[in-house]
Structure 1
């Protein structure tokens, strides 16, 4: 049987199957735990984002108030500046007084339609005609906001608030511009949470993504910027929050609040809550913990199956395999610590082995008794045949006819051959099958020993293949060999009288299902005819076959073969080729006899 691969043998183990079934059972619970943990993390993240949104809007509220205040100032100034436009010195003084009273502005100016401003807080002339911000404000003719990278006075980034100026007739006459430096924007430094726990970082940037101000130093600004999103992409009309990794590689939550839509924005950020911010294995704990518990449960199930079941089953399996292979030592099957089902199975196995051993012992006794009885029967048959041969010998002494003596002598030889067969037949190994090499060797040895005399010297050559036959074939073959060897001894003679005659007997197996028996002997040129019509002379003379020939033919017919004779100048050979019967025939016949 082909040995299964290791992975297949692993799948067939009880521990694997128990763990596999448990894995299927626990998998939905594990998935629910993982999903619940992820939901908790998402909920925690949403809370952090909402909290950051509130903190960012609170921190930017001062800037929003300042911008709204600047817008109101621009509206009031636009309504009041037109009457003073015709008095350049008075207009300039008004602008200078406003800047001195509110130092948060770096420049306040009135810019007429031509773009040349002489009425401003700087007391000088500015040409705004080519300034894109001036052109856009003149076209829109409404309050507008714009971020200018370099202010004319502050030389730094400023937020420009513009408001159109109209005359009494409602005609557009220019605009009022207030420049609010970013250094003047107030970003709240205090938050509702302590800085050491979750410090809030605030920066402002324009629509192009340029950072204008920051609550941290320029060296630490990387912690406040998202890595995978550009600031220019974080523009819009609505506030929003998101989670991302900062440029420095720290996980943070970001919130964007538009101070002036499409112009000025505030970006606040802080670390997420501890249960979400933890990195590495601890950060993955909400997912890893259910998965690890699932894996540990499978390992525990495997070990439990190994401890409670498999080791006891392996112990029983080793004992059963040894017992099945013929070893009648049951071995160690101590399963006292096993579950009750395995203990009951081990007890049943012990009782079964005891029953089998007891039955085998009884069967051996019965077989031995039958063998003894069978051998006794054949011993008595042999004795009876020898008694018949002795009576025939006594009768021959009283007979004066040479022909009668010859006939009785032939009968006596055949009776002794039958006695020899009964003595040797069941001394060979087996009852349902017989080893022919043992049987034929004993018969040939017995017959040649009886025929060997000083005046008849023989040289015997025998070669028997180890062929197992049923008794139905072994008995007629033994009788055929006995008859053929007896006749061969009777008529064997060497062409040279000084040399012993040669006799050969062979049993070969040409194929798996056929056997061939050969009996041959040397002869001289002058053969004597048998009184009974021997197999040489009677056939050659064309007479009716003698008794020996008839017996040989009858025995060959019982074997299922035919007799073939070959004769030349110095040798005579007899061959019988026959088909071997299956050994199962003898076993079935023996079983039927025992049941009867």
Structure 2
């Protein structure tokens, strides 16, 4: 019997191995493509950074001019305002006239050292004590910039520019403050950003990193600020460009340009080349595209191998497996669309199966013929034995000697036992092993049926394990049982009065390689114990070495064992323990006989 096929792992399949080999072959090309794509992307970013730096300088030129104008106006006003401060009305009128001439400012004011301004373009009293520029000017008398979220006049964010005021003795007297409404970054008209497809975003900031102006609203400038770099770190005397994620998480190109070294800086940003943010999947495109091509090539290779090779091999494998398991129907192995090598394999398999089927048919015919001949031999032996038994029966009717009749009757019973055995062998001829339980049950039934008479009743009990034996062991065992049962029936008596005589037989398996036969019968309580040395079951023949004893001993020796007997309490038992021969001995003998 062929063992069931073992399921193999995925790594042992042809499709997996082809795909794995292709993956290894294509992996260097994929890595080269990835590195090349990354290099191209880096070059594009470098071009974008360089372009952004020039565009930032051009775009900030308008804001720079506006801030420089405000700075110059604050400086001029600071130098001219002190003589007019003593006349409050004259100072206020001057501020209002300046505002009319340059309405881009929301407030122009002089703030004395007290922090209370009454000289301003609004003509009101303003408290600058909490103003950051005022507090800074008390410590550092220089031009300064600051952004106020809520202007005193505009009510919205303003860019405040201050300049210190000194008297004729160079004593600090206060500061001039100009407020520019923070409506958005003034991008120069000649910057070209309107015609540029890149959405440029601009902010200005001071040396401390404080944002001064923005082309976006102050509450929406996260896109224009890098996430991992502080603005204070983007100060210096040289312009720098880099790529980074913005505060909002988008990948952008940034360029920081000093407008006023150590004082004012501009930071421009836009998406990388192409005008699209490259975060997420788009940002991973240089890596994803070669990898996806690599994966798709593996899938295509797998499907191609599956279509061209594996499905045909699977069909052949299914047919071969069924054939190997004993199914002699080859089935559908149409592989006409398969490659030439597989078609040749299928044709060779078909020729092989035809040859095997033809050889098996011939072997079956030969085995059948030998089986018929063997059956015929057993059948003729059985008929001859029955003929001898009939002749002996005729001779017994002609004999007047009681002793001769008894002897011939015993011989006749043994001949009939042999005939029964050959009949069973006739029915099981051609097999390499014999089911001992069926053989012994038939023999016991046959003998007990012949011996059961109205004046001699028997109660037979049997227990036979299903033990398969080679014919070389089954025949002597059957002869031993036939002889032992014949003797047991002959000398068995009921334990009490008219009770039937009891006869029992057991053939049990002790372990995998040993078995034990037990034959027992009840005896009359007035019978004397058997003399030592007489081991025939139930035999009361006091002659040592009687025929029954010799036959049972001879059959036991053929089994490679000895006979043991037990007697007492009205019963008599005989037991034979023997070793079971491997069934392969019978198969090898059959093969040798067939070759002969």
TM-score by length of 1: 0.73
SS at 1:504 equivalent: strand
Contact 1:501 1:521 in 2 (8 A): no
Contact 1:161 1:179 in 2 (8 A): yes
Contact 1:382 1:422 in 2 (8 A): yes
Aligned to 2:483: 483
What do the CA deviations read for 1:170-211 (whole angstroms, capped 9, x no partner)? xx999xx9999879x985223245446235444433223344
Of the structure 1 ranges 191-200 and 475-484, higher mean CA displacement relative to structure 2 is found in: 191-200
Aligned to 1:508: 507
Of the structure 1 ranges 340-349 and 56-65, higher mean CA displacement relative to structure 2 is found in: 56-65
SS at 2:221 equivalent: helix
Q: Partners in 1 of 2:73 and 2:405 — Cα distance?
A: 168
Pick closer, same or farther for the CA change 1:20–1:403 going to 2, 3 Å.
Answer: same
Please state how far the C-alpha of 1:394 moved relative to its aligned partner: 5.9
SS at 1:274 equivalent: coil
Count of residues in Structure 1 that have an aligned counterpart in Structure 2: 564
Write the mapping of 1:170-569 to structure 2, written as runs, cut at 5 A. 188-195=188-195, 197-214=197-214, 218=217, 222=221, 225-228=224-227, 232-238=231-237, 239-246=239-246, 251-274=251-274, 276-277=276-277, 281-389=281-389, 392=392, 403-428=403-428, 431-452=431-452, 456-465=455-464, 466-494=466-494, 499=498, 501-502=500-501, 504-512=503-511, 513-523=514-524, 525=526, 535=536, 541=542, 543-568=543-568
Q: Partners in 2 of 1:582 and 1:158 — Cα distance?
A: 111
Q: Partners in 1 of 2:371 and 2:591 — Cα distance?
A: 14
Aligned to 1:126: none
Pick closer, same or farther for the CA change 1:376–1:157 going to 2, 3 Å.
Answer: closer
Aligned to 2:16: 16
Please state how far the C-alpha of 1:51 moved relative to its aligned partner: 1.2
Pick closer, same or farther for the CA change 1:236–1:376 going to 2, 3 Å.
Answer: same
Of the structure 1 ranges 239-248 and 323-332, higher mean CA displacement relative to structure 2 is found in: 239-248
Q: Partners in 1 of 2:13 and 2:444 — Cα distance?
A: 61
Pick closer, same or farther for the CA change 1:404–1:74 going to 2, 3 Å.
Answer: closer
Q: Partners in 2 of 1:344 and 1:241 — Cα distance?
A: 68
Q: Partners in 1 of 2:194 and 2:367 — Cα distance?
A: 101
Pick closer, same or farther for the CA change 1:592–1:131 going to 2, 3 Å.
Answer: closer
Pick closer, same or farther for the CA change 1:2–1:345 going to 2, 3 Å.
Answer: closer
Pick closer, same or farther for the CA change 1:536–1:299 going to 2, 3 Å.
Answer: closer
Contact 2:504 2:520 in 1 (8 A): yes
Pick closer, same or farther for the CA change 1:161–1:378 going to 2, 3 Å.
Answer: same
Contact 1:428 1:438 in 2 (8 A): no
Unaligned runs of 5+ in 1: 76-80, 86-95, 107-129, 139-143, 151-155, 165-171
Unaligned runs of 5+ in 2: 84-93, 106-132, 149-157
Pick closer, same or farther for the CA change 1:517–1:348 going to 2, 3 Å.
Answer: farther
Please state how far the C-alpha of 1:344 moved relative to its aligned partner: 2.9
What do the CA deviations read for 1:192-238 (whole angstroms, capped 9, x no partner)? 4544623544443322334444556x468727741526775145333
SS at 2:432 equivalent: coil
Contact 1:182 1:213 in 2 (8 A): no
Pick closer, same or farther for the CA change 1:583–1:251 going to 2, 3 Å.
Answer: closer
Aligned to 1:25: 25
What do the CA deviations read for 1:422-442 (whole angstroms, capped 9, x no partner)? 233332376322222332233
Q: Partners in 1 of 2:469 and 2:373 — Cα distance?
A: 22
Contact 1:464 1:507 in 2 (8 A): yes
TM-score by length of 2: 0.73
Please state how far the C-alpha of 1:518 moved relative to its aligned partner: 0.8
Please state how far the C-alpha of 1:490 moved relative to its aligned partner: 3.2
Pick closer, same or farther for the CA change 1:46–1:73 going to 2, 3 Å.
Answer: same
Please state how far the C-alpha of 1:50 moved relative to its aligned partner: 0.8
Q: Partners in 1 of 2:249 and 2:39 — Cα distance?
A: 24
SS at 1:426 equivalent: helix
Please state how far the C-alpha of 1:452 moved relative to its aligned partner: 5.0
Please state how far the C-alpha of 1:509 moved relative to its aligned partner: 0.3
Q: Partners in 2 of 1:549 and 1:339 — Cα distance?
A: 77
